[in-house]
A and B are shown apart, each in its own frame.
Chain A
Amino acid sequence: MKTILPLIIVFCCGFYMLATFFIPARFSQTSSQTLQNWYLGVMAFFVFIGIFNLIKINVDKIQRKLRDWQYSIILLTFLGVMLGAGFIGGRDSKVFLYLFENFQVPLGATMFSLLAFFVASASFRAFRAKTPEATLLLIAAVIVMIGRIPIGYLIWHKFPDLVEWIMQVPNTAAKRGILFGIDLGLISMALRVLLGIERSYMGGER
């Protein structure tokens, strides 16, 4: 029961969904839409177990006075305000939007912008001509870097065209080859899941 029922569910849901893709008739389309809505709904609903976990771990940290427990108070306060504002005042409430715009948005943008620094430290370290492969990586990167800025055009007016060519020809070729491999891997993975061959996601029972 503990193994068979989940396997039946994954098999039936999966192959039914596959079938509806090819059947335009109404019952098929509406039922597939319903199943997809349910799946989105269930996944979203799960966020509460996550929130529950987040609260539990941080309350625990404060109670046991673990390292950095003071910060957990900050976390829980902001979490509480957001949940309160969102669920009581609605998602258009002033507090909710204010916190989103003045806290979450700039924090997200700043975290994202750290990449400007990390591309620099990574390229200093990694782009060294240790092997023929590393040399190719390095040359392609340097050509594109120079060709993308106005100075590249001043050095040689065909530089931007060369960059485009690299992006459109060897880059496209490699990306596409990688993609085909990925598609095959994905289909085989999905098939193994649907057939119940791949079960490690159920807690590794084999």
Chain B
Amino acid sequence: MIVGQIELRVCDTPNDDGSSITVEWNAGPGYRIFEILRSTEPDGDFEKVYEAGAGETIFIDSDVKLGKNYFYKIVGRNDSFVTNSQVAGPVRPEVQYFNLARLPVLVCIIVLFAIIILYITRAKSGEKLFVRKIPALKAIEEAIGRATEMGKPVLYVPGIMDIDDPQTIASMSILSRVAEKTAEYGTSLYVPTSKSMAMTMAQQIVKESATRVGRPDWYNPDNIRYITDDQFAYVSAVDGIMLRERPATNFYLGTFYAESLILAETGHSTGAIQIAGTAMPDQLPFFVAACDFTLLGEELYAASAYLSQEPVQLGSLKGQDLGKLLFISVIVIGVLSQIFNWHFFINLFNIE
């Protein structure tokens, strides 16, 4: 069996907190194990720090002290051979204060933030901003009106995730408008939630909304309640509410998983008008099939800005639109890079 040389490279692990050294090696086939040895002197006593298998080529040594010099060597073995590599070093672990590998992410965030803030300031300065109509949003008010005429309640399901999910926040923002309208009309509003914090937030929102339209007496905290954190148990209870309270209008806005269709089909069987919206692409087909109106993906986020009609909020929508144009341009440049082999551009998008 031919056993090749072992080529050894060591360096301070890039973009870390100075707690490790990266050891990499290249060896021919035939080795069974590699022993990685370390010392603080080039000709001092080397001690074994790691034993690697045949397929491994990299080891991160995190048992090192900041700012101290280290030397490494590797012993490759199989049943009949032992090969020593050259000693590599010195290498010293150091702290990095900026993760260079994440620079493209920082640039992307700054650019997106900048364009959104730019449009927000332009909107603040009184510039008129046009935003096209979103059909599902127009339907919200009509649907509440319908429930009022029928003397039936409105059901609002804010998704099954907690308030750490941006979709839940978007939903809460829409809830505040829905609550205003229902309070104004004096229609009951049920908000069952699957998470305790979401319940707390929804209670605050509905209460304030009622106060704002001068109907604090309308607010009933018992209508905004926690059911259970469990996905399907929550759905079984919401289905029960639909069948027993017979709401005339159902809103499903927020994060949904497989339960989307269970809710929408049960709601349909009770004859309710249904307005759904989610940024979960996998669940959109089911809402589109079973509901009367659906906010697709980004429209859920746009909804709160749109409903408020506040210039600052609308400004951020404009910023998002510029972001889309930016994405399209990046895609075009990327496709051109593929054709003309501009690997530099494509590699910008490699993220550790």
B residues near A112, Cβ cutoff 8 Å: 232, 258
- How many contacting A-B pairs (Cβ < 8 A)? 209
A residues near B297, Cβ cutoff 8 Å: 178-179, 181-182, 185
Chain A stretch 8-57: residues in CB contact (< 8 A) with chain B: 18, 21-26, 28-29, 39, 43, 46-51, 53-54, 57
Contact, CB under 8 Å: B95 / A26:
yes
Chain A stretch 81-116: residues in CB contact (< 8 A) with chain B: 104, 107-108, 111-112, 114-115
Contact, CB under 8 Å: B163 / A201:
yes
Min CB–CB distance B163 → chain A (angstroms): 7
Contact, CB under 8 Å: A47 / B229:
yes
Chain A stretch 154-183: residues in CB contact (< 8 A) with chain B: 175, 178-182
CB-CB contacts of B127-146 with A at 8 A, as 1s and 0s?
00000000000000000000
B residues near A126, Cβ cutoff 8 Å: 288-290
B208 on interface, CB distance cutoff 8 Å: yes
CA distance A192 to B319 in the complex (A): 12
A residues near B236, Cβ cutoff 8 Å: 107, 111
Min CB–CB distance B16 → chain A (angstroms): 5
Min CB–CB distance B298 → chain A (angstroms): 4
B residues near A181, Cβ cutoff 8 Å: 297-298, 324
Main secondary structure, interface of A, reads helix
Binds A, one of B32-40, B71-79, B196-204, B341-349: B196-204
Q: Which residue of B lies closest to A68 (CB)?
A: B244
Min CB–CB distance A206 → chain B (angstroms): 7
- Contact size class for A? 35 or more
A129 on interface, CB distance cutoff 8 Å: no
A residues near B199, Cβ cutoff 8 Å: 49-50, 53
Given contacts A197-B312, A198-B304, whether A24 and B279 have CB atoms under 8 Å apart is no
Contact, CB under 8 Å: B208 / A48:
no
| Residues in B lying within 8 Å of A, measured CB to CB | 15-19, 95-99, 102, 105-106, 109, 112-113, 116-117, 120, 162-164, 166-167, 169-170, 172-173, 176, 179-180, 195-197, 199-201, 204-205, 207-209, 212, 222, 225-233, 235-236, 244, 258, 261-262, 264-265, 268, 279, 281, 284, 286, 288-290, 296-298, 300-302, 304, 308, 310, 312-313, 316-317, 319-320, 323-324, 327
- Can you list 22 residue pairs at the A/B interface with Cβ under 8 Å? A18-B109, A24-B16, A43-B197, A47-B196, A118-B261, A118-B290, A122-B264, A125-B290, A126-B288, A126-B289, A179-B297, A182-B301, A184-B324, A185-B297, A185-B301, A186-B301, A189-B166, A195-B117, A200-B173, A200-B304, A203-B176, A204-B205
